[in-house]
Amino acid sequence: MNQVGSTATAFVASAATVKYLASLKRFAGTDLNSNEPLLTLNPAAVDPNAGLPKYSINGTPLYWTLEGVIPDGVVWAVDRSKVFVVIREDIELVTSPWPYFTSDSIAVRGVMRVGYGFPHAASIVKVVGALS
Protein backbone atom coordinates (compact mmCIF):
# COMPACT_ATOMS: atom_id res chain seq x y z
CA MET A 1 0.00 0.00 0.00
CA ASN A 2 2.76 2.44 0.90
CA GLN A 3 4.68 1.45 -2.25
CA VAL A 4 1.95 2.98 -4.43
CA GLY A 5 1.71 6.21 -2.39
CA SER A 6 -1.29 5.22 -0.28
CA THR A 7 -1.84 5.24 3.46
CA ALA A 8 -4.50 3.24 5.29
CA THR A 9 -7.01 5.75 6.62
CA ALA A 10 -9.62 3.16 7.64
CA PHE A 11 -10.10 -0.54 8.26
CA VAL A 12 -13.42 -2.27 7.51
CA ALA A 13 -14.54 -5.71 8.73
CA SER A 14 -17.64 -7.69 9.64
CA ALA A 15 -19.14 -7.27 13.10
CA ALA A 16 -18.01 -10.79 14.09
CA THR A 17 -14.43 -10.04 13.02
CA VAL A 18 -14.38 -6.77 14.99
CA LYS A 19 -15.75 -8.57 18.05
CA TYR A 20 -13.04 -11.23 17.73
CA LEU A 21 -10.26 -8.64 17.26
CA ALA A 22 -11.55 -6.74 20.31
CA SER A 23 -10.97 -9.86 22.43
CA LEU A 24 -7.30 -10.19 21.40
CA LYS A 25 -4.42 -8.87 23.49
CA ARG A 26 -1.04 -7.52 22.38
CA PHE A 27 2.09 -9.63 22.77
CA ALA A 28 4.94 -7.78 24.46
CA GLY A 29 7.64 -10.09 23.11
CA THR A 30 8.98 -11.43 26.41
CA ASP A 31 5.85 -11.78 28.53
CA LEU A 32 3.34 -14.38 27.35
CA ASN A 33 0.48 -12.71 29.19
CA SER A 34 -0.71 -9.25 28.27
CA ASN A 35 -3.79 -7.31 29.31
CA GLU A 36 -3.26 -4.59 26.71
CA PRO A 37 -5.95 -4.91 24.02
CA LEU A 38 -5.02 -5.11 20.35
CA LEU A 39 -7.70 -2.55 19.47
CA THR A 40 -7.80 0.91 21.01
CA LEU A 41 -11.16 2.10 22.30
CA ASN A 42 -12.19 5.46 20.81
CA PRO A 43 -13.27 7.68 23.76
CA ALA A 44 -15.19 10.00 21.42
CA ALA A 45 -17.44 7.11 20.36
CA VAL A 46 -19.21 6.85 23.73
CA ASP A 47 -22.47 7.99 22.09
CA PRO A 48 -23.64 5.20 19.73
CA ASN A 49 -25.55 7.79 17.67
CA ALA A 50 -22.43 9.85 16.95
CA GLY A 51 -21.49 7.67 13.97
CA LEU A 52 -17.89 7.33 15.13
CA PRO A 53 -16.00 4.03 15.05
CA LYS A 54 -15.73 2.38 18.45
CA TYR A 55 -12.27 0.92 17.87
CA SER A 56 -9.05 1.83 16.09
CA ILE A 57 -5.88 -0.02 15.12
CA ASN A 58 -2.77 2.09 15.81
CA GLY A 59 -4.92 5.23 15.55
CA THR A 60 -6.62 4.21 12.28
CA PRO A 61 -10.40 3.78 12.69
CA LEU A 62 -11.91 0.30 12.38
CA TYR A 63 -15.45 0.26 10.96
CA TRP A 64 -17.81 -2.73 10.97
CA THR A 65 -20.44 -3.72 8.44
CA LEU A 66 -23.62 -5.74 8.59
CA GLU A 67 -23.26 -9.51 8.41
CA GLY A 68 -22.85 -10.86 4.89
CA VAL A 69 -21.25 -7.74 3.40
CA ILE A 70 -17.67 -8.74 4.26
CA PRO A 71 -16.88 -12.39 5.08
CA ASP A 72 -15.79 -13.17 8.65
CA GLY A 73 -12.01 -13.19 9.04
CA VAL A 74 -11.45 -10.51 6.38
CA VAL A 75 -10.30 -6.94 7.11
CA TRP A 76 -9.98 -4.37 4.33
CA ALA A 77 -7.49 -1.50 4.62
CA VAL A 78 -8.51 1.45 2.43
CA ASP A 79 -7.16 4.89 1.57
CA ARG A 80 -9.97 7.44 1.84
CA SER A 81 -8.49 9.63 -0.89
CA LYS A 82 -8.79 6.77 -3.41
CA VAL A 83 -12.35 5.60 -2.72
CA PHE A 84 -15.44 7.21 -4.21
CA VAL A 85 -19.11 6.97 -3.23
CA VAL A 86 -21.30 7.51 -6.28
CA ILE A 87 -25.04 8.20 -6.34
CA ARG A 88 -26.27 6.19 -9.33
CA GLU A 89 -29.74 7.71 -9.60
CA ASP A 90 -31.65 10.63 -8.14
CA ILE A 91 -33.05 10.10 -4.66
CA GLU A 92 -36.69 9.00 -4.69
CA LEU A 93 -38.79 10.42 -1.84
CA VAL A 94 -42.45 9.41 -1.44
CA THR A 95 -44.92 10.43 1.29
CA SER A 96 -48.32 8.96 2.12
CA PRO A 97 -50.81 9.77 4.90
CA TRP A 98 -52.80 6.55 4.37
CA PRO A 99 -50.89 3.98 6.50
CA TYR A 100 -51.35 6.20 9.56
CA PHE A 101 -54.88 7.43 8.85
CA THR A 102 -55.93 7.08 12.51
CA SER A 103 -53.36 9.64 13.72
CA ASP A 104 -51.71 12.85 12.54
CA SER A 105 -48.76 11.06 10.96
CA ILE A 106 -47.26 10.69 7.51
CA ALA A 107 -45.21 7.77 6.18
CA VAL A 108 -42.03 8.77 4.36
CA ARG A 109 -40.01 6.43 2.15
CA GLY A 110 -36.66 7.34 0.65
CA VAL A 111 -34.71 5.25 -1.87
CA MET A 112 -31.13 6.05 -2.85
CA ARG A 113 -29.00 3.93 -5.19
CA VAL A 114 -25.36 4.14 -4.15
CA GLY A 115 -22.24 2.49 -5.52
CA TYR A 116 -18.58 2.52 -4.54
CA GLY A 117 -15.67 3.19 -6.85
CA PHE A 118 -12.09 2.02 -6.35
CA PRO A 119 -10.10 3.54 -9.23
CA HIS A 120 -6.72 2.52 -7.79
CA ALA A 121 -6.91 -1.17 -6.86
CA ALA A 122 -3.36 -1.29 -5.45
CA SER A 123 -4.36 1.20 -2.73
CA ILE A 124 -6.72 -1.34 -1.14
CA VAL A 125 -5.36 -4.22 0.96
CA LYS A 126 -7.25 -7.37 1.94
CA VAL A 127 -6.08 -8.98 5.19
CA VAL A 128 -7.33 -12.56 5.66
CA GLY A 129 -7.20 -14.64 8.83
CA ALA A 130 -9.17 -17.36 10.57
CA LEU A 131 -11.41 -16.59 13.52
CA SER A 132 -10.76 -19.10 16.27
What are the tens digits of pLDDT across the range 35-58?
Answer: 778 888 877 665 566 566 788 888
**This prediction's pTM:** 0.71
* pLDDT computed for residue 93 by the predictor: 92
The 3-state secondary structure of the chain, one letter per residue: CHHHCCCCCEEEEEHHHHHHHHHCECCCCCCCCCCCECCEECHHHCCHHHCCCCEEECCEEEEEECECCECCCEEEEECHHHCEEEECCCCEEEEECHHHCCCCCCEEEEECCEEEECCCHHHCEEEECCCC
Which of 22-31, 69-78, 86-95 shows the lowest mean pLDDT across its residues? 22-31
Structural domain for 46, as ranges: 2-128
Q: How many domains does the chain divide into?
A: 1
